[in-house]
């Protein structure tokens, strides 16, 4: 069976992409059931998937400089940037603000009572952030996944009085792992998203 989405496509960009967030970290003062993840995703303006850079090491042999790729590990990644459309109640900006404040000032992540005070700040991340590419039937054709996504910054809000233009703000993230899946047909004709190998 194909993986289908119950949410509408982003009405602002009119494109064939959809962003899904597995969880929203560090909302110790807001119950999880009061955060509508689909509404957060519907306010995505753009996603800037980072380039990949490979650092080089240098050595000399017989007065000739040689370059060597530096295998600095799979978790040395670049910055993921997402631009959001500000909702009417400033709620999506406030949620990111709560996350940033909790990380910056050391509020225990995902801790909602005294028994959970041992929660680690390292758990203060999005477990998985998925970007779906949808086909013409609005079925996911492929998915790019970022795992263990940490918020590193929130851009400023620029409010222009007397102007009805859409207001946006950006967030920057760093992630630890990256994966991709694509839609494949099974023998019975149904579709399934499977990891690329």
Taking the C-alpha atoms of residue 51 and residue 72, their distance in angstroms, rounded to an integer, is 16
What own/partner pairs with CB < 8 Å and gap ≥ 24 does 100-105 have?
100/151, 100/153, 100/154, 102/25, 102/26, 102/28, 103/26, 103/150, 103/151
Kindly report the backbone phi and psi dihedral angles of residue 159, in degrees, each rounded to the nearest multiple of 5, phi listed first. Answer: -95, 125
When pLDDT is averaged across residues 48-54 and rounded to a whole number, the result is: 79
In this prediction, residue 180 carries a pLDDT of 84
**In this predicted model, which residue has the larger pLDDT, 32 or 46?**
46
Note whether 81 and 154 are within 8 A (CB). Answer: no
Give the Cβ contact number of residue 67 at 10 Å: 9
**In this predicted model, which residue has the larger pLDDT, 67 or 105?**
67
CA 140 to chain centre: 17
pLDDT in tens, 98-137: 888 878 776 655 555 555 555 566 678 888 999 988 877 7
In this prediction, residue 172 carries a pLDDT of 94
pLDDT in tens, 78-92: 789 999 998 888 888
CA 125 to chain centre: 10
> pLDDT above 90 covers what percent of the chain?
11
What's the number of CA atoms in the CB half-sphere (13 Å) around residue 96? 24
For the domain spanning 17-195, the CATH number is 2.30.110
pLDDT in tens, 128-177: 999 988 877 777 778 889 988 999 999 998 888 887 788 899 999 999 88
List the chain domain ranges: 17-195
Taking the C-alpha atoms of residue 12 and residue 97, their distance in angstroms, rounded to an integer, is 23
- The answer to whether residue 12 scores a pLDDT higher than 80 is no
Which stretches of 65-142 are DSSP H helices?
A: 91-105
Q: What's the mean pLDDT when you consider all of the chain?
A: 76
- The answer to whether residue 5 scores a pLDDT higher than 50 is no
Say whether 29 sits in a helix, a strand or coil. coil
């Amino acid at each position: 069976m194909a993986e289908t989405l119950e949410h509408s496509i982003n009405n602002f960009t009119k494109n064939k992409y959809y962003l899904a967030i597995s969880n929203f970290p560090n909302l110790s003062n807001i119950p999880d059931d009061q955060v509508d993840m689909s509404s957060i995703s519907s306010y995505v303006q753009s996603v800037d998937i980072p380039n990949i850079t490979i650092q080089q090491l240098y050595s000399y042999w017989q007065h000739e400089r040689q370059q060597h790729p530096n295998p600095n590990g799979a978790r040395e990644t670049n910055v993921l940037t997402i631009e959001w459309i500000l909702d009417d109640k400033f709620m999506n900006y406030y949620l990111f603000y709560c996350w940033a404040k909790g990380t910056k000032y050391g509020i225990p992540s995902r801790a909602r009572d005294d028994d959970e005070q041992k929660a680690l700040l390292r758990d203060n991340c999005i477990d998985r952030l998925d970007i779906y590419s949808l086909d013409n039937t609005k079925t996911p054709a492929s998915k790019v996944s970022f795992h263990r996504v940490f918020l590193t910054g929130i851009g400023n809000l620029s409010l222009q009085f007397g102007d009805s233009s859409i207001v946006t703000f950006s967030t920057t993230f760093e992630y630890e792992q990256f994966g991709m899946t694509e839609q494949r047909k099974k023998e019975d004709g149904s579709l399934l998203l499977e990891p690329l190998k």
